[in-house]
């Protein structure tokens, strides 16, 4: 008679060996329960099953049978149909969250198996990456904040191409950001302003070496003579706010915000697609009202220290003056300055002594206003009207009201006639050689 064959796992073989020692009297039931990490009551049950069924008694009774909690095939087909309809390019985790909102409760691992069998999800193989030294999170909220921007098709083909300028806290993963059309110094200052007004001044700001944060060339001569290090407009604002700045040498150094953009490019893009977001205003409103509350509940972590490391804004921290773009100019004789091809003038009632020919600073603030800074005072600036065009416009047409007939003719060159006295050689020689009469001059 052929012996019976059965499959046992390693855990079942270990349990069977311990149960045999109990039957032989080498171990007590309490000692056996400690070895197999079961209760002594469960050990007694296994001993009874082994005496009745032999070694097969350690095998689980449900092996080879369907689980009692198995979901029906009809429910699986319903879930997959919903995934094909709305969430075809979603991952199992994100799709399971949206299916729960639709009233279809299924775990992400079960959904992953179903989507893999249906060809809606491919198992991703992990690529070997360069190993970097692990860095522990900062202890308190506000000690270190990372800032970066990500150009991406955030609105896909429904809206314009845009950038997401974001800031994320290193200790808690709490973040804030804005969708902007271009990644400029002004937009980064405006994003920083939102963080400052909401939380306060962080201890350190961590960015890359973009020209917005790090100057590309040497400092001007005037600043070098004063011993001022080269700084950008953004760096000057951080120095006035008392915020330290750290430049990352590689994208991996600021991996937390890089991973943030990877998550947002998957989750945020698809949720804005479901909400039919088409403009930058709608995108910023969706990010602030809908997405951020769910993010803070789902992804933020509790810091090791409950204190808030942000410092409050003091009276001298006037953000409208600090978060601005400043340039140095010399005031002309008519109390005007020129910046980016536009002439700006100081109103007559605001003119003060010593302004003409002085070295001043122009501030362009985030609200679009322009101010002139002179000896600690702020003088308003108004745009001077440009001169009317006198030549052809870019379309090759003359301005209205000007025709070829009204254009003045150029003065012709005078040519003396043949009988002119100047043409006679004796007269020209006489005029050149004649000495002046000194008596007439007296």
Q: What is the pLDDT of residue 308?
A: 93
**Could you tell me if 188 and 165 are in contact, meaning their C-beta atoms sit under 8 angstroms apart?**
yes
Q: What is the pLDDT of residue 436?
A: 54
Q: pLDDT per position in the chain (442 positions), as tens?
A: 566 777 888 888 888 899 999 989 888 999 999 998 999 999 999 999 888 888 888 888 778 777 778 888 899 899 999 999 999 889 899 999 999 988 999 999 999 999 998 888 887 766 656 666 778 899 999 999 999 999 999 999 999 999 999 999 999 999 999 999 999 999 999 999 999 999 999 999 999 999 899 887 776 676 667 766 788 999 999 999 999 999 988 888 888 999 999 999 999 999 999 999 999 999 999 999 999 999 999 999 999 999 999 999 998 999 999 999 999 999 999 899 999 889 999 998 988 888 999 999 999 999 989 999 998 889 999 999 876 655 555 555 555 544 555 556 777 877 888 787 777 765 555 555 555 555 544 4
Find the angle CA(366)-CA(370)-CA(374) to the nearest 5 degrees: 120
Pairing between β-strand 336-339 and β-strand 324-330 as defined by DSSP bridges: unpaired
What is the spatial distance between Cα 225 and Cα 63, in angstroms, rounded to a whole number?
A: 83
- 308: nearest Cα among 104, 172, 146: 172
Q: What is the pLDDT of residue 437?
A: 55
First to last CA, the chain: 157
- 202: nearest Cα among 147, 248, 265: 147
Is residue 69 exposed (0-12), middle (13-18) or buried (19+ Cβ within 10 Å)? Answer: exposed
H or E element in which residue 135 lies: none
Token pair of 250 as six digits: 């590689």
Domain 144-207+243-298: CATH class, spelled out: alpha beta
Alpha helices in 54-184 (DSSP H): 73-86, 92-101, 108-117
**Could you tell me if 333 and 322 are in contact, meaning their C-beta atoms sit under 8 angstroms apart?**
no
Q: What is the pLDDT of residue 442?
A: 47
**pTM attached to this predicted model:** 0.70
Q: What is the pLDDT of residue 161?
A: 92
Token pair of 80 as six digits: 């997959």
Write the CA distances from 118 to 84, 111, 113, integer angstroms. Answer: 10, 10, 9
Token pair of 214 as six digits: 């790090």
What is the spatial distance between Cα 175 and Cα 199, in angstroms, rounded to a whole number?
A: 11
């Amino acid at each position: 008679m052929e012996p019976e064959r059965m499959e046992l796992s390693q855990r079942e073989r270990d349990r069977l060996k311990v149960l045999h020692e109990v039957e032989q009297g080498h171990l007590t039931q309490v000692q056996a329960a400690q070895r197999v990490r079961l209760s002594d009551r469960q050990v007694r049950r296994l001993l009874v099953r082994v005496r009745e069924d032999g070694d097969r008694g350690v095998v689980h009774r449900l092996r080879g049978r369907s689980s009692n909690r198995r979901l029906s095939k009809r429910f699986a087909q319903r879930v997959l149909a919903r995934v094909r309809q709305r969430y075809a390019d979603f991952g199992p985790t994100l799709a399971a969250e949206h299916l729960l909102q639709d009233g279809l409760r299924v775990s992400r691992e079960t959904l992953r198996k179903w989507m893999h069998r249906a060809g809606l999800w491919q198992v991703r193989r992990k690529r070997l990456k360069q190993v970097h030294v692990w860095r522990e999170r900062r202890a308190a909220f506000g000690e270190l904040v990372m800032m970066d921007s990500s150009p991406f098709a955030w609105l896909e083909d429904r809206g314009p191409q845009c950038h997401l300028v974001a800031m994320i806290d290193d200790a808690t993963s709490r973040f804030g950001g804005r969708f902007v059309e271009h990644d400029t110094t002004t937009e980064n200052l405006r994003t920083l302003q939102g963080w400052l007004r909401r939380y306060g001044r962080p201890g350190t700001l961590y960015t890359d070496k973009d020209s917005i944060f790090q100057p590309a060339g040497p400092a001007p001569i005037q600043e070098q003579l004063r011993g001022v290090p080269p700084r950008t407009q953004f760096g000057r604002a951080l120095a006035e706010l008392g915020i330290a700045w750290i430049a990352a040498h590689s994208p991996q150094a600021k991996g937390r915000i890089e991973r943030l953009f990877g998550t947002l490019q998957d989750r945020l893009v698809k949720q804005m697609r479901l909400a039919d977001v088409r403009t930058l205003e709608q995108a910023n409103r969706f990010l602030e009202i809908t997405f951020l509350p769910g993010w803070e509940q789902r992804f933020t972590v509790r810091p090791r220290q409950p204190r808030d490391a942000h410092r409050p804004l003091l009276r001298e921290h006037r953000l409208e003056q600090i978060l601005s773009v400043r340039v140095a100019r010399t005031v002309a004789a008519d109390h005007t300055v020129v910046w980016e091809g536009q002439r700006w003038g100081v109103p007559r009632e605001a003119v003060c002594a010593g302004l003409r020919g002085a070295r001043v600073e122009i501030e362009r603030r985030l609200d679009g206003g322009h101010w002139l800074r002179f000896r600690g005072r702020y003088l308003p600036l108004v745009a001077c009207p440009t001169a009317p065009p006198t030549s052809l416009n870019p379309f090759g047409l003359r301005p209205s009201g000007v025709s070829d007939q009204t254009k003045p003719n150029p003065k012709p060159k005078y040519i003396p006639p043949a009988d002119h006295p100047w043409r006679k050689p004796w007269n020209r020689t006489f005029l050149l050689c004649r000495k002046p009469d000194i008596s007439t001059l007296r």
